[in-house]
Amino acid sequence: MTKLLLRVALLLGAVGLLGGLGIWLGLRYGYVDAFYARFAAQPAGSLVLGTSRAAQGIKPGVLAARLGGRYQGPWLNYAFTLAESPYGPGYLGSIQRKLAPGTRHGLFVLAVDPWSLSMPAAVLDKRPLVFPEAQSMVSQLRSVSQSPNLDYLAHYLHKPFYQLLLDTDPRHVVERLHPDGWLEIAIPPPTADTALLRRRTAEKLATYRPIAANSRLAAVRLLSLWQTITLLKQHGQVVLVRLPTGAAMAALEDDYQPGFDQLMGQAAAEQHVIYRSYLHSPYATNDGNHLTRDAAEQFSQRLATDITQLAAAPEGE
Amino acid sequence: MLFNSLHFLVFFPLVVGLYYALPARWRAPLVLLASYYFYFSWRPEYTLLLAATTLLDYYSGLRMSRLRTQAQRRPWLYLSLASNLGTLFLFKYFNFFRDTANGLAEALHLPMAAPALALVLPVGVSFYTFQSVAYIVDVYKGKLEAERNLGRFALFVAFFPQLVAGPIERGSQMLPQLRQSHEFDYGGVASGLRLMAWGMFKKVVIADRLALLANPVFDHPRRFDSLALVLAVAAFTGQIYADFSGYTDLARGSARVLGYQLVLNFRQPYLATSVGDFWRRWHLSLSNWFRDYVYIPLGGSRRSPARNYANILIVFLLSGLWHGASWTFVVWGALHGLYLVAENWTAPIRTSLAKLTGLAARPRLHRVLASAATVALVAYAWIFFRANSLPDAFYISTHLFRGWGKLHPAQLQGLLAGLGRHFVAELLVAAGAVALLAVADYRAERGSVAAWLARWPAPLRWASYLGLLLATLYGGVFGSNQFIYFQF
């Protein structure tokens, strides 16, 4: 038995050494995916929350540079996707795990839109307390602040490890998740190529129209948003924002939930937090939905300015 | 717990370490405990179901062994069959038959709507149920002594390496092994570990990678035609083999590490030269089960050709239904049944044709062509096995060869989307891994791969083990991908 144990240990040792070295190099110099860096970052004192619009549209680095003196860091964009991080108990649990213990003066930017507070009508009618994202990565991942995050790499990395080593040159990477959690989509802005923008917008609308047709605002999601605000208020200042988007998408949202701004305004007033809608503000998008990287910079600057002013103004404005 | 999970990576070495550290008499109880923990980790409540059916089968077997005639044993046989097949029906087939009945009633404008059961299918239920049914029938027929030790019988049913997806063991093969004491054997443990490493490679490097090619097409078939559909079908043909045989290698390997030999489940099925030959190489433990407990009791080939064909069709329809409670599986089974009937029926014509064309005089070429034709037929049937619905399956099967003149770049883009940005590297890795599997199967067809490896110089052999493990680590597609056969 000793002979076998020795040989197996030698073999596994060699695998561990060579494998570990490659993976370490990949994590150090390569690129993992659109989520990993958020789970490898240390617990945060200030967070940007929401779905992909916020993930691509708000740069924590800009907020930190402008507001770092007023709010506690580290700053992190902890927004994911509509499938992973709509408001619900799964996302709330993950936020709790990510929040730095002892945070008292954080800034929490909660991006809201009708999609992240809706659910399929079929689910609401048949199983109103079931959250479709309950088995998602954000809901399930227990370790959210580990580097390297082996739990994530083992369960949720959907590409082979060798590919980490192929993405060492950031100039050739279209999608890049920055250490502060901002997801940069490094494609040339399609505003110059209107045909491309029209095609991408049409595809995006084709995805969202059926969602609008088959979904409703969900009381359970609104409750979860309420709970998220209540939790985060204990750790600092909460700001609810509705991000800008393309004109056609904004029209679809207005058509789907015409009273959304009013609803959010009421909720914000009841919770004594700030709500600001930028839905119709003219910023460039990549696909009629998500801001371009340049627009994200501009919008983050504006948001920082507004937060400075709004925080100083009376509540509910 | 999946074999390709971190959980198993901790569980298995712990069990093996304890197994050989404990005195021999405690080893079987340890494996029983480990097996129940293994099952418990899926869904705790279904452990009770497993325990209940085990108790009933054990008691039925014991009672039957005390009775002299089959007539006296029959009530116990029926009780056990009712319990096993009833469980299977309730959890796996009730909603299928209910949906079918409701659909029929709707079509006939009958005011009937049976309610659905909100039950989750217990993992492995089809496998352990069939294993228990084989045991109970063998005891009833007097071919097998009933097991008197409850713990041993429970281990026979719940043995963790093969509990959730087979191979379906027979009492005559497994129970004697459970009565023996298993001492540490270097050769056995080493060959078990090799088999496990190979199975893991097949699963995470080949099957899960090919799935990335097949899934986008099978999930939205109407976005594709011609080449994209053919490639997706080819990818699934490789995926299902690498997935299921990979699982079987992991099961057989982990059992071998503990000193147990599980039956062979695959013998290079894609080298088969006819569909009949394919079924003598694919999922052998299930094929043999259907042969012994359905086909032969129905009369097998002993009666008229028409009756034989009917028996073949019945067996394959049941085999299709065993795989899943869906009409797609029924059609898949029916197709294989029809293939076999046609194969039997046309055997003389094909022999004459082979002589006429000179193929009979060139056996190697004949074999290659026969293998290619068999794989094509099997691959065509896989469409029904994998498709999400019958309309999808019919769409794919009727659009495979349409529009070859105009290949749309958008379709190829959609096909390759699952492979990500580095699709060229992914295709190269997939091709390399499939080639390695083909070489291994070719070697296995000519003799034992283990014996072939043993002839290599030690440094080269160990370098190949290291290479295989590193390829699995670097090239594996990880991330909770379940084995396909776990759903059955």
Q: Select the residue from B413, B426, B478 to test the A interface by mutation, using most A Cβ atoms within 10 A.
A: B478
How far is B257 from B192, CA to CA, in rounded Å?
5
* Number of neighbouring beta carbons within 10 Å of residue A213: 9
Per-residue pLDDT of B321-358, as tens digits, reads 999 888 999 999 999 999 999 999 898 999 999 899 98
- A48 bridge partner residues: A77, A109
Could you tell me if A14 and A155 are in contact, meaning their C-beta atoms sit under 8 angstroms apart? no
Q: What pLDDT is recorded for position A116?
A: 95
Question: Which residues sit opposite A120 in a β-bridge?
Answer: A215
Q: How big is the A-B interface in CB pairs under 8 Å? A: 63
Q: Looking at this protein, which amino acid is placed at residue B350?
A: R
- Across chain B, mean pLDDT equals 90
- Beta carbons within 8 Å of B414's beta carbon, 6+ residues apart: B216, B217, B220, B223, B224, B228
Give the C-alpha separation, B248 to B282, whole Å: 11
Give strand pairing partners of A276.
Answer: A241
Distance between alpha carbon A58 and the CA centroid of its chain, in Å? 9
Pairing of strands A215-217, A183-185: unpaired
| A65 closest CA partner among A313, A303, A312 | A303
Taking the C-alpha atoms of residue B83 and residue B96, their distance in angstroms, rounded to an integer, is 19
Residue A45 has pLDDT above 90, yes or no: yes
Q: State how far the Cα of B199 lies from the Cα of B476, in Å rounded to an integer.
A: 12
- Closest Cα partner for A105 from A311, A284, A313, A287? A311
pLDDT at A311: 61
Among B190, B425, B478, beta carbon nearest to A157: B478
Percent pLDDT > 90 in chain A is: 66
B406 — pLDDT class (breaks 50, 70, 90): low
Between B6, B20, B475, which is nearest A154 by CB? B6
Closest-CA residue of A relative to B2 is A155
The pLDDT of B468-482, averaged and rounded, is 83
Beta-carbon separation of A157 and B420 below 8 A: no
Supply the pLDDT for residue A192.
Answer: 58
For chain A, say whether B480 makes contact (Cβ under 8 Å). yes
Q: B9 CB near a chain A CB, below 8 Å?
A: no
Q: Which of B429, B466, B480 sits opposite A14 (nearest CB)?
A: B466
In this structure, of A118-132, A187-201, B42-56, B418-432, the range with the lowest mean pLDDT score is A187-201
Classify the C-alpha dihedral B131-B328-B482-A143 as positive or negative.
negative
- Residue whose C-alpha is closest to residue B147's, from B159, B134, B156: B156
Pick from A15, A159, A163: CB nearest B469 = A15
B440 membership: H or E segment, kind and range? helix B423-446
Q: Distance between CA B245 and CA B199 in Å, rounded?
A: 7
Whether the Cβ atoms of residue A197 and residue A288 lie closer than 8 Å to each other: yes
Catalytic residue annotation of B: 323
Q: Residue B165's pLDDT is what?
A: 83
Facing B20 at nearest CB: one of A1, A14, A160: A1
Instruction: Pick the closest to residue A71 from A317, A307, A309, A315 (CA basis).
Output: A307
Identify the pLDDT of residue B403.
72
Reply yes or no on whether the pLDDT at B447 is more than 90: no
Q: How many CB atoms lie within 10 A of CB A247?
A: 14
Q: How far apart are CA B329 and CA B384, in angstroms?
A: 6
For residue B480, is pLDDT > 60? no
pLDDT higher than 60, residue A190: no
Domain boundaries, chain B: 16-184, 188-487
* DSSP H/E element including B416: helix B409-417
Q: Which two tokens stand for residue A12?
A: 């596994």
Contact flag B475-A162 (C-beta cutoff 8 Å): yes
Under DSSP, the state recorded for B361 is G
Nearest-Å Rg of the Cα atoms of chain B is: 24
Taking residues B117-138, what's their average pLDDT?
A: 88
Q: Do B474 and A174 touch (CB under 8 A)?
A: no
- How does pLDDT run across A138-157, given as a tens digit for each residue? 999 999 999 999 889 888 88
Structure tokens at B466: 């290291």
Q: Which residue has the higher pLDDT, B155 or B103?
A: B155
pLDDT digits (tens, 9 = 90+) for B363-376: 899 999 999 999 99
Q: Are A178 and A184 in contact (CB under 8 A)?
A: yes
- Signed CA dihedral, B430, B436, B442, B448: sign only: negative
Q: What local confidence, expressed as pLDDT, does residue B488 receive? A: 55
Check if B458 contacts A (Cβ < 8 Å): no
Quick check: B54 and B31 in contact, CB under 8 A? no
pLDDT at A71 over 90: yes
Distance CA A248, CA A170 (A): 32
Looking at residues B205-230, what average pLDDT do you find?
89
Q: What are phi and psi of B273, to 5 degrees?
A: -105, 0
What CA–CA distance (Å, rounded) separates A210 from A193? 27
Instruction: Give the mean pLDDT of B377-384.
Output: 97
Domain boundaries, chain A: 42-147+178-312
pLDDT at A227 over 70: yes
Interface residues on A facing B, Cβ-Cβ cutoff 8 A: 1, 3-4, 8, 11-12, 14-15, 18-19, 22, 153-163, 166, 174
Nearby residues of A64 by Cβ (< 8 Å), 6 or more positions away? A46, A73, A75, A180
Q: Would you state the pLDDT for residue A231? A: 95
**Cβ atoms of residues B290 and B319 within 8 Å:** yes
Q: A4 vs B190: CB contact, 8 Å cut-off?
A: yes
Residues of B in contact with A157 (CB under 8 A): 478-479
pLDDT at A315: 45
**HEC string of chain A?**
CHHHHHHHHHHHHHHHHHHHHHHHHHHHHCCCCCCHHHHHCCCECEEEECCHHHHHHCCHHHHHHHHCCCCCCCEEECCCCCCCCCCCHHHHHHHHHHECCCCCCEEEEEECCCHHHEEEHHHHHHCCCCCHHHHCHHHHCCCCCCCCCHHHHHHCCCCCHHHHHHCCCHHHCCEEECCCCCEEECCCCCCCCHHHHHHHHHHHHHHHHHHHHHEEECHHHHHHHHHHHHHHHCCEEEEEEECCCCHHHHHHHHHHCCCHHHHHHHHHHHHCCEEEECCCCCCCECCCCCECHHHHHHHHHHHHHHHHHHHHCCCCC
Q: Is B459 exposed, middle or buried (0-12, 13-18, 19+ CB in 10 A)?
A: exposed
Rounded-to-integer distance, Cα B152 and Cα B158, Å: 10
Residue B181 banded pLDDT, cuts 50, 70, 90: confident
Which residue in chain A is spatially nearest to B425 when comparing CA positions?
A: A163
State the first-to-last Cα distance of chain B, in angstroms, to the nearest integer: 16
Q: Nearest CA to CA, how far is B102 from chain A (Å)?
A: 19
Mean pLDDT of chain A: 90
Which string of b and e fits A111-136 if b means at least 16 CB within 10 Å?
Answer: bbbbbbbbbeeebbeeeeeebebeeb
What is the mean predicted confidence (pLDDT) over B383-395? 94
The answer to which of A125-134, B64-73, B291-300 has the lowest mean pLDDT is A125-134
Give residue A317's pLDDT band: very low, low, confident or very high (50, 70, 90): very low
- Residue B360 has what DSSP assignment? G
Whether A313 shows a pLDDT value over 70: the answer reads: no
pLDDT of residue B486: 61
Q: Could you tell me the pLDDT band of residue B282, with boundaries at 50, 70 and 90?
A: very high
* B318 pLDDT more than 90: yes
**Highest mean pLDDT: which range of A28-32, A79-83, A169-173, B222-226:** A79-83
Question: Token pair 């595809």 is at which residue?
Answer: A203
Contact A222, A117 (CB under 8 A): yes
List the structure tokens of B266: 């695959």
Confidence of residue A316 (pLDDT cuts 50, 70, 90): very low
> Which carries the bigger pLDDT value, residue A313 or residue A51?
A51
pLDDT given for residue A205 in this prediction: 92
Query: Is any Cβ of chain A less than 8 angstroms from the Cβ of B187?
Result: no
Mean pLDDT throughout A231-245?
95
pLDDT 10s digits, A120-138: 988 888 777 788 899 889 9
**A144-147, long-range: CB < 8 A, 24+ apart:** A144/A38, A144/A39, A144/A94, A144/A97, A144/A98, A145/A39, A145/A40, A145/A41, A145/A42, A145/A43, A145/A97, A145/A98, A146/A39, A146/A40, A147/A40, A147/A41
Coil, helix or strand at residue B340: helix
Does position B314 have pLDDT exceeding 90, yes or no?
yes
Question: In the predicted model, is pLDDT for residue B150 greater than 60?
Answer: yes
- State the Cα angle at A81 between A78 and A86, rounded to 5°: 85
pLDDT of A301 above 50 = yes
Q: Output the CA–CA distances (angstroms, integers) from residue B378 to A52, B249, B267, B311, in the order listed.
A: 43, 22, 15, 20
pLDDT tens digits for A80-130? 999 999 999 999 999 999 999 999 999 999 999 999 999 998 888 877 778
Name the DSSP class of B282.
S
State the pLDDT at residue B148. Answer: 94
**Per-residue DSSP letter, B267:** S
Fold for A42-147+178-312, please state it.
Rossmann fold (3.40.50)
Q: What is the residue type of B248?
A: T
